[in-house]
Amino acid sequence: MPKRAIHMVLSEREKEEVERLTKHHRSEQQQAQRARIVLTAAQGHSNAQIARELQVNMDTVRLWRDR
């Protein structure tokens, strides 16, 4: 049975901080990718949608959504 994705809610401050990570030119690309996953999940997208949009493995999306 498939596991249901965790619903994510970010405060305005958290959202701003994560967005900053995605736009900062000196951010490590892994960190920026993780931030994009978190932001997209907080917008209500499914794990499959996020994996497709960001071209990452679904297991990667699950990992960061669960964290």
pLDDT digits (tens, 9 = 90+) for 22-67: 877 776 888 889 999 999 999 999 999 999 999 999 999 999 888 8
d(C-alpha 49, C-alpha 13), whole Å: 25
What pLDDT does residue 45 have? 94
User: Is residue 61 exposed (0-12), middle (13-18) or buried (19+ Cβ within 10 Å)?
Assistant: buried
Mean pLDDT estimate for the chain:
87
Give ∠ CA 36-41-46 in degrees, rounded to 5: 125
Global pTM value: 0.71
Q: What digits encode the pLDDT tens for the residues 1-32?
A: 567 777 888 899 998 888 888 877 776 888 88
